[in-house]
Amino acid sequence: MQANGRHSAPHPVHTVEGTDAQLHVDVFVPEAPAVLPPILLIHGFASSVELNWVKSGWVPALLRAGRRIICPDLPGHGRSGAPDDMDSYSPGRIRADLLQILIDQGVRPLRDGDPTSGVDIIGYSLGSRLAWEFGATQHELVRKMVLGGPNPQDPLADFDLPAAQRFLADGTPIADESTNELLKMAELIPNNNIFSLLSLIEAVKLEPFDPAEAVPRMPILLVAGEFDMRAARMHTLAELSGCAEQHIIPGRTHNNAVTSREFKDAAIAFLSR
C-alpha cells in the first residue's frame, strides 16, 4: 500500500507572500476513500519524512487505518530546499508554510456534521513544538493532535550554536555532549544541509518557545518514552492544555520512542475516536 499510496506534490507547491519556501511535500492516499480528516505529520530536527515517518512504519500504519497523510520535509531537511534567508527557518514562517500546504491540499475548516473536515496533526520533538503553536493559532482547522517527545522548553534552546559553527569551521571539539550528539546525527543523515540546520537553530533561538503564551484547546495526546529526559516535564503541557491525555511507552527513549508500535497504536486509536 505504501508504494501505491504515495505521490509527491509538484514543486513549487505553494508560495507565502510570493516567496517559494522550497518545501518538498509527500502525500499518501489510502485505497478506500477516507472517512476522517487528513493527518499532517511534522518530523523532528535533523530528521525527514522518510526517516521519521516512512521507515519507522508510521505511514503504512496510518494508511491501513484509512487516513490520508500530508508530509512536508522541513526547510534544509530531506528533499526540501535550503533557502539562504534566515526568515525561512523561523517557527512563525514554517507555521505559515504548513498552513499554505494544507490549503493547497484542500483541507477545509472544521464543520459540524462533516467528519472529513479539518486536519489532525502528529508531531515529534521539534515537530511537537511547531504543532503546539500551530494548533493554538489554527483552532478552527485542527481537530486533534498527537505530540511525541514533547517538551515545555524549546528542544533546541540548549544547543551550543557557536561551538557547532567553530567545529564546522576548523574542527574545534564541542564540549557540550548534547550539542555534539545532535550535530553528529545531523551530519549522518543523507540530504540534510548542515548549514541550513544551523540556520534553523539560530532562527528558533530568536523565537523562543513559550507554551503558555498560546495554548491549543483541541484534544491532545502527549506521548513519551519512559526514559525520554527531554520530555520529563511533559505533564506541564498537559496542565496547560486542560484537555490532554498522557501516554508513557515503557523502556523507550527520545531517540527510539517514535518507532514503537505502542506509540502508533495509541495515536491511531486516539485519532479514530
- pLDDT per position as a tens digit, 39-51: 999 999 999 999 9
Of the candidates 60, 77, 56, 82, which has an alpha carbon nearest to the alpha carbon of residue 69?
60
Q: Which residues lie across from 221 on neighbouring strands?
A: 146, 245
pLDDT for residue 182: 85
C-alpha grid cell for residue 167?
Answer: 567545529
- The residues, ordered by sequence, that sit 6+ positions from 24 with a Cβ below 8 Å of its Cβ are 8, 9, 11, 49, 72, 73, 78, 79, 80, 81
pLDDT for residue 8: 61
Sequence letter at residue 72: P
CATH class of domain segment(s) 6-155+209-272 = alpha beta
Other Cβ atoms less than 10 A from the Cβ of 10: the count is 7
C-alpha grid cell for residue 211?
Answer: 507554551
Of the candidates 44, 89, 33, 41, which has an alpha carbon nearest to the alpha carbon of residue 66?
33
pLDDT for residue 3: 37
pTM of the prediction?
0.92
Q: What residues of the chain score a pLDDT lower than 50?
A: 1-4, 10-13
Q: How many residues does the chain have?
A: 273
